[in-house]
Structure 1
Amino acid sequence: MAATATLAAPSFLLSSSSHLKKLSPSLQLPRTRSVRVRAAKLPAGVEVPREQPKLSEPFLGFTKTAEVWNSRACMIGLIGTFIVELALNKGILQMIGVEVGKGLDIPL
């Protein structure tokens, strides 16, 4: 089975229209051309998927991949916070200037 890909590359060839020929070369815009590339056969070890994945529409940007990366970043930040607290022997609230004491100070 042959694989196909479409590439877009700028073409610096001049158009045959007369008004573009009158412009200086610095004012002419490059055009893009579409080129289709077909491979004779797939490389060894590459398989064509049997069916296309059925992806649901993301809800306000909440996709599985985004949530996995967000949770990984959160874990790294939380561990970093613990390391800073251990190194400075102070809590995060004390470091930013919040008075830490007895909490709500409710007698039980």
Structure 2
Amino acid sequence: MAAEDLENYESDLELQLYREYKAVVGLFNYVVETERRFYLANQVDVKTLTDSGEVYFELNLTDAWVWDIYRQGRFVKTVKVLTFKDVNVEELNRDELQIPKEGLGG
């Protein structure tokens, strides 16, 4: 497979993933970003832990969707994530996810 073919294949996968994200984002309450992954979830529990002076985070997500182009099953019932970098959790505002019936123009 040529480098250009591989690049096109990955671009197509990313576009499919973005379309899937747009289709499912309204089903979830939270957006969660870690150093390695991006998640949508309906419940999020974050614990800050320490071990020998090192700080890390344990996340437990329920009813989640995982942003990963190589993963076949992106919907998961529960996810446990350990990360040593910052974690960003945002509650989604469902009103911002809706496009007005009049459209975006005035």
Q: TM-score, normalised by structure 2?
A: 0.25
Structure ranking higher in strand proportion: 2
Larger Rg: 1
Structure ranking higher in helix proportion: 1
